[in-house]
Amino acid sequence: MNFKVSFIAERKQQGFTLIQLMAVVAIVGIMFQVGSALFADVVHRKVVRSTALQLEKRIGFIVQQSKGRGEAMAICAGQSTNCNTNDWSLGYVTVTTNPVSDTPGKVEVVHRVEALDPVVNILSNRQKLVFLPGGFLESNTDEAFYVCPIHRAQFSYKITVSASGLVDFEELKGEMKCDQISV
C-alpha cells in the first residue's frame, strides 16, 4: 500500500493567500472611505436641521413672550445686546428692548445661543428683528432667515417671519448654495 501518496494528495490549503488578503483589505478600505463620507454628510445634515429648528423655535418663543409680557423683544445677531453686528455665525441673543431706544442698559437678556457649529451658516438681511408687544414685527414686512451648510447645495432651510408674527419653516429644494442666496 502507498499511504504516503494518498496523504499528500488529500492535503488542503488552510488560511488566505497574500493576494486574497490584499484584496480584502483594499475592499474594506474603499468601503470605509465611502461610509465615512456618508456618515459625515448625515451628521452635517442633522446639525444644520437642528440649528434651523432651534432658530425657528426661538423666534416662536419671542413672538409668544412679546405677547405675554406685553413688551417688545428682539433677536439679535452676535452676542451684543445693542445688536450692532450682522454676523449670525457668532450666535444670537434674545433680549427685551425698547424699539425707540436700543440703549444697552435698558435691555434684559432672555436667551443666548453662542457660536454656531462651523458647518452651519445663517443668513439674514437684518442684524435684529424687533417684535412689538402684540407679537408683530416692528418692520411691518416679512423677514427671512436662511440656515444652510457652508459647502453644500442641499439641505438648506428657510425660516420666514410674517409681519403678523407667524413663523414658517421650509426645506429648500434644489441646488442653491448659501453664497447664492441674496438676502
Quote the pLDDT of residue 9: 55
Residue 40: inside a domain, yes or no? yes
Residue 9: inside a domain, yes or no? no
Residue 8: inside a domain, yes or no? no
pTM listed for this prediction: 0.72
The alpha helices in the chain, defined as continuous H runs, are: 3-9, 18-69
Residue 5: inside a domain, yes or no? no
Q: What is the pLDDT of residues 37-76, one digit of tens each?
A: 778 778 888 888 898 899 899 999 989 988 888 888 888 8
Please give the Cα distance from 91 to 113 (Å, whole number). Answer: 5
Please give the tally of structural domains in the chain.
Answer: 1
CB of 46 closer than 8 Å to CB of 54: no
131 three-state secondary structure: strand
Quote the pLDDT of residue 150: 78
Q: What is the pLDDT of residues 88-146, one digit of tens each?
A: 878 888 888 765 555 545 667 777 887 788 888 888 888 888 888 888 888 888 888 88
Q: Which domain holds residue 169?
A: 17-180
Q: Which residues contact 64 (CB under 8 A, 6 or more apart)?
A: 135
Q: CA-CA distances (angstroms) from residue 164 to 55, 67, 71, 161, 171? A: 18, 12, 16, 8, 22
Residue 4: inside a domain, yes or no? no
Please give the Cα distance from 23 to 19 (Å, whole number). Answer: 6
Q: What is the CATH number of the domain that holds 104?
A: 3.55.40.10
Residue 1: inside a domain, yes or no? no
pLDDT at 156 exceeding the cut of 90: no
